[in-house]
Amino acid sequence: MKSELVEQVRAFTEWVGAGRKLTQTGRITLADAKALVPLLKTGDVLEQTIGDHVYRTRSSERLLNLMLVVECAKVARLVRKTGQRLVPVKKNQALLDDPQKLWLALFTGFDQLGQAFLHSGFSESLLRPEFAAGSRAALTSLYNTDGAVNIESLCATVWDVVSAPYILDDLDELPLEVLRSTNDRDTKQSLEVLRRLGVVTLRDGSAELTELGRSGMRRILGEPEAGDPIYQVKITLLEIEGLPVWRRVLVPAAIPLDRLHVVIQAAMGWENYHLHYFLDGQTYYGEAEPELQYRDERKVRLDDLVKPGGRLLYNYDFGDSWDHEILIEEAAVATSDGRYPRCVAGEAACPPEDVGGTGGYARLIQILGDPGHQEHQDILGWLGLDDPGHFDPARFDLDEANQRLNQVVSGKGG
């Protein structure tokens, strides 16, 4: 395995040695930066002559390639900042002798690196603050394609994802064009970093995942290889009267909780409109939102929390508060021709979104079953139905559940 960035991180960690002094703002000193740029061959320009003027770099923060290497070492937990010193994390130094594990640590931490190497300030793009979502979108698009992907197409994909949280309709054409241009610039820069990491090859205006990159994506997505552990999971919607609503799904044992979330959504038939969390009895896991104070679900695997016979609670839509029991029924191994995740059984329909929780759902079923009820037509209109028979609470279609799961696997859902 050959990776330019892995070798730079190893060389930087060895340079740190027993520890190095940082500036008062916690940066590499300029004197050290001047030594590191040629040592690591980062290609950063320390001084530039334009006309009669010589412009010298006055802070290591402006040396973006060097900052990338430094942040990579932090993400891999090879070094850490303590006070005004950068020191080694002794328990993780074994990574330096295992390039494969070091590479994986860097690749799985790539979504944390955007602010290290993308421009900040006046020319900052939307990708910089939305780097986790944007970089995952680009990698998923590459992973779902056999062969090369046009870079302009990747830029468009990333733009669609990172611009979604913002209201840009009021922007004039020129500012919007500038914002889009800076985003495309940073997308291309991100692809260049992935090239240095050995994840993609770049040629003729296109990008393609390497075999190493595909292997890393399988690991991130929790997809199993033949012989890897899988779990048979029973997902049961709790407190539903009359008709039990449940699905039995085969998933990789190592599936991250953020992927398990979209699997549950697809298997059950939810539409992923609302917030959610997992609870293992003590700790809440969910999206990495500081105000929610959940543990980041992207960094926790299912088999980290439960073994066969164990249970998790999954709550969806904090308003309607749909509680699901996640029971690990048994463990098996993936087969070479198996598809995972895969639904193998289930019963009853998923309730409609925003119906008002278990009480509201029970009331909806009652009203649909009573054509004379004064709210019967209102409920039909709310559901968008002409005939109450078109919504059957007892209906479950295994093929439809697996079609939704296939969309999750292909990256078109979730």
Q: What is the pLDDT of residue 414?
A: 47
Q: Which CATH architecture has domain 109-221?
A: Orthogonal Bundle (1.10)
Q: What is the layout of strands, in order, in the sheet containing 85-88? A: 20-21, 85-88, 79-82
pLDDT in tens, 51-93: 667 667 778 888 889 999 999 999 999 999 999 999 999 999 9
Q: What is the pLDDT of residue 57?
A: 77
Rg (alpha carbons) of the chain, rounded to whole number: 25
HSE, side-chain direction, 13 A CA sphere, residue 133: 17
In this prediction, residues 250-266 reach a mean pLDDT of 95
Q: What is the pLDDT of residue 15?
A: 96
Number of neighbours of residue 311 by Cβ within 10 angstroms: 14
Render 245-263 in DSSP notation, one character per residue: EEEEEEEETT-BHHHHHHH
In this prediction, residues 258-274 reach a mean pLDDT of 95
- How many Å apart are CA 34 and CA 17, to the nearest integer? 18
Q: Are strands 284-286 and 295-296 parallel, antiparallel or unpaired?
A: parallel
Q: What is the pLDDT of residue 54?
A: 60
In this prediction, residues 375-380 reach a mean pLDDT of 88
- How many Å apart are CA 83 and CA 23, to the nearest integer? 10
Q: Does residue 401 have a pLDDT over 90?
A: yes
pLDDT in tens, 156-177: 999 999 999 999 988 899 999 9
- How many Å apart are CA 214 and CA 23, to the nearest integer? 39
Q: What is the pLDDT of residue 1?
A: 58
Least confident of 24-33, 150-159, 283-292: 283-292
Q: Which CATH architecture has domain 229-349+394-410?
A: Roll (3.10)
Structure-block tokens of residue 347: 């019963």
How many Å separate Cα 363 from the centre of its chain?
37
CATH topology of domain 1-98: Arc Repressor Mutant, subunit A (1.10.10)
Q: Does residue 410 have a pLDDT over 60?
A: no
- Looking at every residue in the chain, the average pLDDT score rounds to 91
Number of neighbours of residue 357 by Cβ within 10 angstroms: 16
pLDDT in tens, 113-172: 999 899 888 889 999 999 999 999 999 899 988 899 999 999 999 999 999 999 998 889
- How many Å apart are CA 354 and CA 367, to the nearest integer? 16
Cα distances (angstroms) measured from residue 277 to each of 114, 295, 309, 313, 355: 26, 10, 21, 8, 20
**What residue spans define the domains of the chain?**
1-98, 109-221, 229-349+394-410
Q: What is the pLDDT of residue 409?
A: 66
Q: What is the pLDDT of residue 292?
A: 77
- How many Å apart are CA 325 and CA 268, to the nearest integer? 12
- How many Å apart are CA 235 and CA 357, to the nearest integer? 17
In this structure, the dihedral spanned by the alpha carbons of residues 294, 295, 297 and 301, taken in order and rounded to 10 degrees, is -140
Confidence at 338, pLDDT banded by 50, 70, 90 = confident
Comparing 50 with 157, the larger pLDDT belongs to 157
Q: What is the pLDDT of residue 51?
A: 66
Same fold, 1-98 and 109-221: yes
